[in-house]
């Protein structure tokens, strides 16, 4: 056996071990690293009581950054827009980032969205910020994560501004990955008819049952937040109101795409590990990704089963390999787009 194959098999063994239940629990319970946690909560401006577009920053021939005053969150929210091909008007796709909620969406910096949508007749709106927020309206200001009213921003404040600017045709869809997948499904079921289609990639979709409560708590706490500031104590009805398993019937008539992988590494995942400055550290992180994706697979299977029980059509795809990494998410995007494009009529 060659040395290259021996290294690959060793990596596979380490990563496979990471998907066992004890390691999954350990990875999910681990505190966020200092680099992952926000240094301070976003500042709130009490004088910001009106929502509106402040400035437009051109970042390329078809890419703009909008600076939007949000009355709901009392601060300026930056949103990136990819203008689609053709003369328009075009439909709008809202694309949500994962738990890190970086200053520029991971879909742009790591997920290849700008390249993928360059020839597509759709305008894509990408969030920035939103770290650990679940893209939801929080009941209280959080010391670490600040004032979050993302549901209001995404469904009420943002669409009139961005769709008017883009001269959109009124058709819209929403998609997301990981935390953004859960949020996309949540927003679609809480606002029936607002979106023609929804795509969730590597997400979990319950909140009120023990698994959903645990995943939500871990997501918020991993970035320093207090989950009781989100929807109150676990006994609060708001936890059930945001549960897409419980609210799945409200998705009837919405085109749905779901995907998840197995947690096993792809060739691209192994190449990234091999190229890392520290292969040992990279393997440890990859093991965490393997565990997270295995969990997302279980969540997706459960949600798909609920949709089937209700007779609600959904396209569900499971990959034999993939570890909750951006190369894996990028590979899921074209498959999700097939469903979204059909529903949007493009």
Place of tokens 């998907």: 19
Q: What is the DSSP string of 129-152?
A: --TT-TTSB-SS-BTTTB--BHHH
Four-CA torsion 318, 322, 326, 332, nearest 10 degrees: -20
pLDDT digits 0-9 by tens, 121-143: 999 999 999 999 999 999 999 99
Average pLDDT of span 172-193: 98
pLDDT digits 0-9 by tens, 41-70: 999 999 999 999 999 999 999 999 999 999
* pLDDT value at residue 38: 47
* pLDDT value at residue 283: 67
Residue 250 DSSP code = G
- Of 333, 342, 324, give the one whose Cα is nearest residue 15: 324
Q: How far apart are CA 282 and CA 10, in angstroms?
A: 14
Bridge-based pairing of strands 63-70 and 75-82 is: antiparallel
pLDDT at 30 over 90: no
pLDDT at 333 over 90: yes
- Of 147, 152, 144, 165, give the one whose Cα is nearest residue 83: 165
In the chain, what are the domain boundaries? Answer: 42-344
Instruction: Please tell me the class of the 42-344 domain.
Output: alpha beta
Average pLDDT of span 203-228: 94
* pLDDT value at residue 291: 78
| Cα-based distances in Å from 166 to 154, 171, 327 | 16, 12, 30
Q: How far apart are CA 256 and CA 258, in angstroms?
A: 7
pLDDT at 15 over 50: no
* pLDDT value at residue 39: 53
pLDDT digits 0-9 by tens, 97-126: 999 999 999 999 999 999 999 999 999 999
* pLDDT value at residue 325: 87
**pTM for the whole thing?**
0.87
pLDDT at 5 over 70: no
* Secondary element (H or E) of residue 260: strand 255-261
Average pLDDT of span 213-229: 94
């Amino acid at each position: 056996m060659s040395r290259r194959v021996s290294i690959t098999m060793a990596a596979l063994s380490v990563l496979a071990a990471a998907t066992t239940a004890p390691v999954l629990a350990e990875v999910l319970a681990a505190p966020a690293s200092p680099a992952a946690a926000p240094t301070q909560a976003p500042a709130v401006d009490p004088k910001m009581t009106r929502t509106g577009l402040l400035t437009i920053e051109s970042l390329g021939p078809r890419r703009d950054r909008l600076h939007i005053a949000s009355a709901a969150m009392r601060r300026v929210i930056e949103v990136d827009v990819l203008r689609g091909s053709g003369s328009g008007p075009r439909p709008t796709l809202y694309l949500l980032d994962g738990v890190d909620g970086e200053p520029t969406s991971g879909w742009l910096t790591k997920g290849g969205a700008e390249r993928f949508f360059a020839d597509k007749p759709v305008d894509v709106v990408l969030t920035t910020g939103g770290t650990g927020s679940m893209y939801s309206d929080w009941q209280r200001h959080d010391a670490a994560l600040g004032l979050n009213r993302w549901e209001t921003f995404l469904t009420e404040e943002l669409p009139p501004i961005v769709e008017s600017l883009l001269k959109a045709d009124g058709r819209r869809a929403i998609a997301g990955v990981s935390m953004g997948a859960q949020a996309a499904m949540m927003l679609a079921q809480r606002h029936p008819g607002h979106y023609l289609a929804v795509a969730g990639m590597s997400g979990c979709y319950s909140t009120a049952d023990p698994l959903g409560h645990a995943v939500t708590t871990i997501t918020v706490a991993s970035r320093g937040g207090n989950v009781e500031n989100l929807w109150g104590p676990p006994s609060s009805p708001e936890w059930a109101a945001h549960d897409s398993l419980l609210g799945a019937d409200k998705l009837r008539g919405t085109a749905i795409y779901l995907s998840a992988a197995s947690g096993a590494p792809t060739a691209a995942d192994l190449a990234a590990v091999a190229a890392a400055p520290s292969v040992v550290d990279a393997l440890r992180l990859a093991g965490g990704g393997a565990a997270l994706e295995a969990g997302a697979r279980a969540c997706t299977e459960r949600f798909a089963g609920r949709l089937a029980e209700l007779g609600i059509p959904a396209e569900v795809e499971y990959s034999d390999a993939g570890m909750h990494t951006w190369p894996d998410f990028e590979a899921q995007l074209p498959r999700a787009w097939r469903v979204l494009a059909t529903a949007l009529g493009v």
